[in-house]
Amino acid sequence: MLKTTIAIALSMLLLGCQTAQRREYLSACPRAEVPQSCSINVARAECGPVRTVVLSCATYLDKAVNAEAAHQGRASLDPADFQNPEAVKIQLGSPQTQGASGTIVDPTNLLSYQRSLGIASELVAEKTRRYAAALREYEDAASLGRQHSIDDLQTAYSEIQALRTPLQQAAAAGEPIARFYFQNAGFSYPAAARNITNQLDLHNDTLNAAVLIASQRHEALNYPGSRMLARMLVEGFRGLSDQVSKEWPERFSKDKVRAERLIADYARRRASEAQAREYNRQRGSQSDRGCSCSNGSVCYGPRGGRFCITSGGNKRYGI
């Protein structure tokens, strides 16, 4: 008896839901004669009398298609519907030096995640410019033999390396967004809209015109583009992470080796110059030994001047 009562109750509940849905459909999509030209483009001037009812029916149909998508275990088809307010926002860099609002990766929805990639890319570019400036200063000092600490260059490199973990986290935070759009990849909106139309009333001109309008709206939202964008953003963060974690250590190592080579080249150049000066001094000393004033020797300069070399090594002219 109880089972029978429950079954009857469920049947009545289902019938009530179906009746309510039917009423909603009849209200949103009343039968009307829709000219063929208006089925293609309801915005035409001559479509005024049926435009409102077709657009209303398209809204109802879109709601029904999204309900069908949810029934199939898929997410809503509207990109704006992806909202994850519980998603953890990720801090890039130091809020004290960069500004807290300017260094946040926000994965709560697709658009905020897209903006975050732009912010992160600019932050990496800014730190790269700072590193390049420190490297130029260090290399200029090294090539001129000036004492200059490597601390500024090391600090600039360390700031870049500090982004490694946050960028990895940012890439991982985008995976739920990418999965959301990927799940809709196999769901055909026009096919679902047509299927609903066939179930409701295949001969309702209003409903048939609404299928095209709803499908056009759906296409205008560019769902395949949203899927591609979500994946592209994840790969963008992953690329920044790989750049910081894989490319930068090698770059820093090469830059240090080059700077050390400049220092060594300067030291060799100074040593060579000192050696040349000593050689010239010794050569000049040897050439002047035959001109000693102490033994009465006299030598002639390039212009014919007479001189001799004193015991102090100076030239005495006018002798």
Q: What is the pLDDT of residues 145-157, one digit of tens each?
A: 777 788 999 999 9
Confidence at residue 240, expressed as pLDDT on a 0 to 100 scale: 95
Please determine, for residue 139, whether its predicted confidence score (pLDDT) is greater than 70: yes
For 113, the token pair is: 């995640």
The closest alpha carbon to 211, from 192, 194, 199, 189, belongs to: 194
Residues 6+ apart with CB under 8 A from 306: 298, 299, 300, 317, 318, 319
Which of 31-35, 60-64, 68-72, 274-278 bottoms out in mean pLDDT, i.e. has the lowest? 274-278
Considering only the C-alpha atoms of the chain, give the largest distance between any 2 of them, rounded to a whole number of Å. 148
CB half-sphere exposure, 301, CA atoms < 13 A = 11
* Residue 281 exposure: Cα atoms within 13 Å on the Cβ side: 7
Sequence-distant (6+) residues with CB within 8 A of 78 are 66, 221
Residue 79 pLDDT > 60, yes or no?
A: no
Task: Using pLDDT thresholds of 50, 70 and 90, give the confidence band for residue 74.
Answer: low
Confidence band, pLDDT 50/70/90 cuts, at residue 165: very high
Range of lowest pLDDT (115-119, 247-251, 283-287):
283-287
If you ran DSSP here, which 8-state letter would residue 50 be given? H
Backbone angles phi and psi of 10, in degrees to 5? -65, -40
Q: What is the mean pLDDT of the chain?
A: 81
Cβ atoms of 214 and 65 closer than 8 Å:
yes
19 or 184: which carries more pLDDT confidence?
19
By DSSP bridging, strand 104-105 and strand 299-300 are unpaired
Given a cut of 70, is residue 274 above it in pLDDT?
Answer: yes
Is residue 137 within 8 Å of residue 151, measured between CB atoms?
A: no
Report pLDDT digits (tens) over 250-268: 999 999 998 888 888 887 8
- pLDDT, residue 99, reads 44
Name all contacts of 140-149 with Cβ < 8 Å and 24+ positions apart. Answer: 142/259, 142/260, 142/262, 142/263, 142/266, 143/262, 143/265, 143/266, 144/266, 145/263, 145/266, 145/267, 145/270
Computed on alpha carbons and rounded to an integer, the radius of gyration of the chain in Å comes to 41
Q: What is the dihedral of CA 180, 185, 191, 192, to 10 degrees?
A: -20
The sign of the dihedral angle between the CA atoms of 19, 23, 26, 28 is negative
